[in-house]
Amino acid sequence: MANYNSNFTDELRERLSIVDVVGRRVPLTKKGQNFWGCCPFHNEKTPSFSVNEEKGFYHCFGCGEHGDIISFTMKSGNMDFIAAITELAQQAGLKMPDYKPKSVEEKVREDSYVYLTEAAAKIYQQKLFEPDGAFALEYIKKRGFSIESIKKYCLGYAPKSNIISTKFSNTNFEKLSATGLVRRGDYGNYDFFRDRLMFPIFNIAGQVIAFSGRSLDGSEPKYINTIDTELFHKRKTVFGLNFARDSIHRANRSIVVEGQIDVIQMQVHGFGETVAPLGTALTEDHIAILCKSNRNITFCFDGDTAGQKAAARACSLVLPFLRDNSDVKFAFVTGGKDPDDILKSSDGINSMKKIIDSAQPLVDFLWDSLNKNYLVSTPGGRSQAEKFLKKELEKLTDTSLRSEYEKEYNSRKFNQWHKWDKKKNAPDIEIPDVDQITINSLKAVINKYPELGETHIEFLATLGINFDKNISHTELSFEDAEKLVVSLKLKKYLEKLHIEKKELFSKMLVGDETVRGRISDIDAEIIKSNERLNLLSGV
C-alpha cells in the first residue's frame, strides 16, 4: 500500500469522516469526545470499539484492532486495498485515478517545494522588519497586530525587487516556478509577489505551502494568492486550520469568516476556532475538511448582499454533511463592518461574542431565506419556494433527520403561508363557536400532523383558531387524528344544512313551492352525512 501515490488516499481521508464510514457497518454512540460501538472484528456484548472523528482512526480495546477508513473498509469488507479505496471513492463522489508508484524523484520534489516555500516565508518576514518593509509593518500594526502575533503567523513583506528570484538564482527554474513564487518573462525570471504584505498559508501539518499577498497602495486585486500547485489547492485549503485545530476541539465548533485578517484577529482575541476559505468562495471540500474536525459550524459573514449570498451558499453546501448532532448556525456583522472592525472597538470582544452567541440556527436561516427570496403570499411564489425547499432537503443524507426537517417545515408552511390568507378569503358563513376542548384537540393534532392541516385548510381556516399558541400534546394516531378533523368538518356541514333547510321552510310557508326540491336534496344530504359521521364514531 505504501508503494502507491498517497495524494488520492489523503483526499479520501479528508473528504470522508471515519464516523460515517464505520457507522455504515457498526452502530455508534457518542460518549465524551469519541464514538463507541461493539467491535466488528470479535464477538463482544459491551462496546469497546472506539472511533475518533478528529484524528480519523478507530481502536478496539478488546482485541487491539486499530486503523483508519481504508484499513477498516478492507478488514470489515474482506477486500483488498484497491477494492476498498474504490468503495470509499464512490462514497466520496470521487473518480478513481490511475495509480502509479510514487518515485523517489517525486518525493524529493515535494520535499524541495516545502523547503523553498518555508525559506521564502523567512525571507519575507525578515524584510518586514527592515527599512524596505517599514510601511507594511506600520500598516499591519495599525490594523491591531502585535509583534507577537506577526511572528506567530509569520507575516512578512515581499519587496518591489525580485528577492526570491535572486536568492534562488541557482535553483532549477521548473522546480522554483512549480511553487508559484517565480515566473519567467521576456527579460528573465521575476517574483510573482512584489510590494505586498505576505500571509503564509500552512497545511494542516503546519508547513508553509503557499502565500496570500495583500496590496498596500489600494491597487486591485486587493489579494493575490499562489496559483494552484502540486501541494496547494485553494478549493481544499482552509486558512488558519493548523492554528485552530485544538481550539475547535475545545470549543466544540468552528467559526468561518471571510478573510485572513479576520481569522487572525479572531484567533488572537479569544476565538481560536476561527478559519476561512482562501482565495475562492466556500466549497464542498472546505466543508468536508471542517466536518472532519467538528460538525458544529458557525458561519459569520458580513451583513451586506454579498454576505447573505455567501451564507446561502454555505447553507446549501453544508446540508449533505448534517447529522442529528450537528449544530450549524449563521451570524452576520452589520453596519458595513467586519469582525476585524468589531474587535478593534472599545468593547470588541464582548460585542463579537454577542454576535456569535446570537447566531441563527440553520433551520431558521433556510426558512427565512425562502420567505425573503420568494413571494410566498401568492400561489406561484409558494410553489417556487416549495420546489426549492424540496431540492435542498433532498441533500440531507440522514433520512431520519430529513424527515424531521420536512415535518418542521410542513408545520411552518401551514401556520405561516396558508392559514391567515385563507382566513381572509373564507366564505362569509356564520358557524357556531367550537368548544375549548375541541380547539385544544385540533391544535394538538394539526401541529403533530401538519399534512392534515394542508388537506383540510379551507375548513380549518373558517374556525378562526390560532394554531401557533398554547399547543398541547396528543397521543392520537394519524388515523384517529384524521377522524377527529373529518368528524368536526361533517358536524359543521350538518349545522350549515340545517340552517339552510330552516330558511327554505320559511319561504315554503309563505307559498314559495320552488324550494321544495331543494329541501328534499338537503334531507338526503343530512341522512348521508349522518351515516358517515356514525361510521367515523364507530356507532
With vertex at residue 95, the alpha carbon angle to CA 89 and CA 96, rounded to the nearest 5 degrees, is: 75
What is the Cα–Cα distance from 487 to 508, expressed in whole angstroms? 31
Can you tell me the distance from the alpha carbon of 318 to that of 302, in angstroms, rounded to the nearest whole number?
A: 19
CB of 481 closer than 8 Å to CB of 452: yes
pLDDT at 44: 85
Spatial distance between the Cα atoms of 118 and 200, rounded to a whole number of angstroms: 9
The angle at the Cα of 262, spanning 257 to 266, to the nearest 5 degrees, equals 90
Kindly give the residue spans of alpha helices, DSSP state H, lying in 273-374.
284-293, 305-318, 339-343, 348-357, 362-373
What nine digits make up the cell of 378? 401568492
Largest CA distance in the chain: 118
- Any idea which residue has 398554547 for its cell? 470
CA angle (51 as vertex; 46, 54 as ends), nearest 5: 155
Between CA 330 and CA 364 the distance in angstroms is: 9
Question: In the β-sheet with 360-361, what is the strand arrangement from edge to edge?
Answer: 238-239, 274-277, 254-256, 297-302, 328-333, 360-361
Residue 201 CA: distances (Å) to CA of 52, 191, 207, 298, 424: 27, 17, 8, 22, 59
Nearest of 53, 55, 24, 29 to residue 40 by alpha carbon = 24
- Report pLDDT for 281: 80
Instruction: Report whether the peptide linkage leading into residue 361 is cis, meaning its omega lies within 30 degrees of zero.
Output: no
Give pLDDT, residue 185.
87
pLDDT of residue 297: 96
Return the C-alpha cell found at 143: 490594523
**502 alpha-carbon distance from chain centroid:** 61
For residue 115, pLDDT over 60 is answered with yes
CA end-to-end distance (rounded Å), the chain: 74
Cell numbers linked to 3: 508503494
Alpha-carbon span 201 to 246, nearest angstrom: 18
- 10 Å CB burial of residue 329 (0-12, 13-18, 19+) is buried
Bridge partners of 442?
none
- Say if CB 22 and CB 51 are below 8 A apart: yes
The pLDDT value recorded for residue 421 is 44
pLDDT bucket at 134, cuts 50 / 70 / 90: very high
Q: Among 117, 262, 139, which Cα is nearest to 197's?
A: 139
Residue whose C-alpha cell is 383558531: 465
For the cut 80, the answer to whether the pLDDT of residue 458 exceeds it is: no
Say whether pLDDT at 240 is over 90: yes
pLDDT at 434: 60
- Segment 2-24 shows an average pLDDT of 75
Q: Is 263 exposed, middle or buried (0-12, 13-18, 19+ CB in 10 A)?
A: buried
Of the pLDDT bands very low, low, confident and very high (cuts 50, 70, 90), residue 272 is very high
Lowest average pLDDT, out of 24-38, 339-353, 462-476, 484-498, goes to 462-476
Question: Looking at the predicted structure, is the pLDDT value of residue 253 above 90?
Answer: yes
> pLDDT averaged over the chain?
85
d(CA 194, CA 124): 10
Q: Does the structure show a pLDDT above 70 at 426?
A: no
Instruction: Give the model's pLDDT for residue 489.
Output: 84
- Digit-coded pLDDT (tens) for 162-181: 999 999 989 989 889 999 99
**Taking a C-beta distance cutoff of 8 angstroms, is the pair 155, 141 a contact?**
no
What is the number of alpha carbons within 13 Å of residue 513 lying toward its C-beta? Answer: 0
Of 368, 399, 402, 400, nearest to 385 by C-alpha is 368
pLDDT number for residue 419: 56
How far is Cα 235 from Cα 104, in angstroms, rounded to an integer?
28
pLDDT at 429: 34
Q: Tell me 436's DSSP state.
A: H
pLDDT at position 4 over 50: no
Domains along the chain with CATH numbers: 6-92 (3.90.580.10), 104-232 (3.90.980.10), 237-371 (3.40.1360.10), 422-537 (no CATH)
Handedness of CA 433, 439, 442, 446 (dihedral sign): positive
